[in-house]
Amino acid sequence: MTFRVGLLGHGTVGSAFHELLEERAGRIEAATGQRPEVSGVLTRSRGDFDDIVERSDLIVELIGGVEPARDYILRAMAAGRHVVTANKAVLSQHGEEIYDAARKAVVQLRFEAAVGGVVPVIRVIHETLAAAHIERVHGIVNGTTNFILTEMAATGASYEEALEQAQALGYAEADPTEDVSGRDAAAKMAIIGRLAFNLPVHLDQVPYEGIEHLTPGDIEYARELGLSLKLVGTAERLDGGISVRVHPTFLYGAHPLASVNGSFNAVTIESPAITEITLSGPGAGGSQTASAVLGDVISAIIPPPTVPPPAEEQPFVTDTESAFYLHLEVADRPGVLAQIAEILGLQGVSVKSVVQKGLGDDARLDMVLHTSSAGWSSSGRLRAGYG
């Protein structure tokens, strides 16, 4: 059976989604009994919206921006089509209208890729934590600004230099205003706040401040205090209401978001029932975002599976490589260390570092070995593997 997917937009994410869907169609059919197939593509220069809707079971909106995306989403749902979108702009400004329309039309609306790229923030807040009373969400939800701040911290570059580097590597657009002003992060936090607290949150209600005015000095002072500087979005319950906001924030070293670097995104969800959960991963990129969009399409084809699909046969790899830690207690006599090194050498293992401590007549040797086959661990001679 075929499941027909109408695709609106064929840019960075749309074309990656199209390719991924074709590549994965066979597996999806094996798991769901339905083979997804792109039934039509709409861009500025090709395709007809009404015709595509007519020939589709589900519409994937990857145009971006508010109009005509909002109009297309509403019309697709009114025609009884499920909708999957990655569009934070439209959901943060017209979310209530769109959610109402989905409820009225009794269709699914899925939007995992609108926040955090492939990091499953929406699903976890909306589904996994549906019963939890969420108190607070902190998020690094813009990869461009996180890349720039990471670059400034690592190299001492100015904001302008780090932005240039981000643009050269494709992490920032030619016009980076939405990202560096904090507005993109604010839109994502509005969507998160809506789901976390079940209250309408419009982008206009989210104050935001960007990173354009930050200097290498700010980052250096933070480092001297053991802090790191990140653009953090916060959605939290406070006495008398909720607050959703985005601004540069000093984080103490042990904070789960402090070590999130480069273009990665991460979200920390706090609730008395679960204490704290942190999710992190690539927050953007065509193929990464396409993977989240396809995940939504599969969820729309069949209700989320409660048991895994039939297993596929594949060999188990037991001979994995790893570096190892070796702890030995030996007689403190000349030549012992040389003998150990020889035995290890015969096994094809070399020592990366070694620390020796006296234990009366004996000595304790703690070694870190270079990468070798983990088959070793089964012999019982090595105490622990890492790396």
Ligand X SMILES: NC(=O)c1ccc[n+]([C@@H]2O[C@H](COP(=O)([O-])OP(=O)(O)OC[C@H]3O[C@@H](n4cnc5c(N)ncnc54)[C@H](OP(=O)(O)O)[C@@H]3O)[C@@H](O)[C@H]2O)c1
Nearer to ligand X, 6 or 14 (CB): 14
Task: Kindly tell me which of 84 and 258 has the beta carbon lying closer to ligand X.
Answer: 84
Two structure tokens written together for 323:
């570096």
Token digits of residue 230: 């990140």
Contact by Cβ (8 Å): 316, 357: no
CB of 224 to ligand X, least distance (A): 35
Which residues lie closer than 8 Å to 72 by C-beta, 6 or more apart?
8, 49, 59, 61, 63
- How many residues comprise the chain? 387
CB 124 within 8 A of CB 251: no
* 48: its two tokens: 């007809």
From 104, 188, 352, 357, the catalytic residue: 188
Binding residues for ligand X, per CB under 6 A? 9-14, 42-45, 62-64, 68, 86-88, 113, 117, 284-286, 289
State which residue, 180 or 222, has the beta carbon closest to ligand X: 180
Report the residue closest to ligand X, judged by CB.
11
Query: Minimum CB separation from ligand X for residue 51, in Å?
Result: 13
Distance CA 360, CA 19 (A): 67
Q: Tell me how far, at minimum, the Cβ of 10 lies from ligand X, in Å.
A: 4
188 is catalytic: yes
| Residue with Cβ nearer ligand X (260 or 367) | 260
Least distance CB 6 / ligand X (angstroms)? 12
Nearest distance, CB of residue 344 and ligand X, angstroms: 47
Rg (CA), the chain: 26
The beta-strand segments (E) located in 53-171 are 58-61, 82-85, 109-110, 136-140
Whole-angstrom distance, CA of residue 329 vs CA of residue 316: 35
CA distance 99 to 109: 8
- The encoded tokens of residue 267 equal 């979200």
Nearer to ligand X, 187 or 214 (CB): 187
What positions carry a catalytic annotation? 188
